[in-house]
Amino acid sequence: MPKLIRSTLAATGILARTALKSGRRHYPAPLASKRGTRFSSNVFTAEIWAAAAKQKRVSAQSFLAVEALGQYIRRMDNLLDAPGALPVSTHKKTYQQDPEARRRISVLVKAMRQSPLSRAEQKEAFAFLSAFRKEAFEATAAFERKTNPTLEDVIALKRHTSGAMGRVMTGLLNRLERIPKTQAIQLEKAMENGFLAGQLVDDIRDIQTDHRHRIPNFATAVLRLFPDEQQRFSQHLNGQTGPVRLTVFKKTYPKTYAKLRELGERFLADIPTQDDRGLQTLVALPRVFWRLALLARR
């Protein structure tokens, strides 16, 4: 079977398994939520990682830690993306001391303490996670200081936030599941670029809301490269803030859409697949996302 077809089928299989395992509450929920993980994107992350790492599954204990980490990151994202959010450059402590964020960190710490990692390994893992938080805060603060950010500025920010999210969650799973160091480094880089490629679809859908709230967005950054399409976008806003369908965006802003697809392929090209079936599946996944998003009715 050709590699492209095989990897595409494998990527589609990840989506199916995610829906099945989420529906059956295959993974535990660490935040005492009655909904379990039915709508948790971290189930998807766990399934992607397992496929890329060629592991049968993520252990329940490892998932507890990854789910808590993912919930913490999303809490910070929601705070930073809220209308009127305070600048990180001057209010970092405000974000660090958020009660809900601290609660989610405590859940993560508890999950790590109950993991099979030794005390020394736990200490190293916590240092790794702390470095990620520092990296994301510093990148956000640096971006805030730019008066006229370019596309490359947005790419740099996203690499240290959205991409780093994929890297840090992978790094945590690598440690908990004891993946060999050489393979672990490769997986972290691959997941970082995979997350960046996937973020492009989200940014297109969120372009109207992000534009109004001045949230960094791949699609708005690329639009600025094409003045005619940027002007058309400004005229079409008309107070709308809801999600944008990819089919509509592709038809209305063809040059921007093509550039975003090109950018996605640039991220995927940084994943050294060679003859690694797991990484080939990871590369195919964002492409499957694009196709499914184009078929979506809303």
Q: Which of 257, 69, 298 is nearest to 168 (CA)?
A: 69
CATH of the domain at 79: 1.10.600.10
Q: Which of 37, 73, 33 is nearest to 58 (CA)?
A: 37
- Tokens of residue 151, six digits: 């596309």
The CA-atom distances, in angstroms, between 294 and each of 18, 223, 228, 247, 291 are: 20, 19, 23, 5, 5
- Tokens of residue 257, six digits: 């859409």
The reported pTM is 0.86
Q: What residue numbers bound the domain in which 211 lies? A: 3-295
Q: Which of 270, 291, 288 is nearest to 279 (CA)?
A: 270
Residue 46: Cβ within 10 Å count:
27
Residue type, 48: I
Please compute Rg for the chain using Cα positions.
Answer: 19
User: What's residue 95's pLDDT?
Assistant: 85
Helix ranges (H only) for the chain are 3-23, 41-53, 60-81, 88-96, 99-113, 119-144, 151-160, 162-176, 181-205, 207-213, 218-223, 227-237, 246-252, 254-269, 277-295
The tens-digit pLDDT sequence of the chain (298 residues) is: 444 444 444 445 555 455 445 444 456 554 444 444 444 678 888 888 988 898 888 888 899 899 999 999 999 988 888 877 888 888 888 888 899 999 999 999 999 999 999 999 999 999 999 999 999 999 999 999 999 999 999 999 999 999 999 999 999 999 999 999 999 999 999 999 999 999 999 999 999 989 888 899 999 999 999 999 999 998 887 556 678 889 999 999 999 999 999 999 999 999 877 677 888 888 888 888 788 788 765 5
Give the total number of structural domains in the chain.
1
Q: Which residues lie below 8 Å from residue 40, measured CB to CB, with a gap of 6+?
A: 22, 27, 29, 67, 70
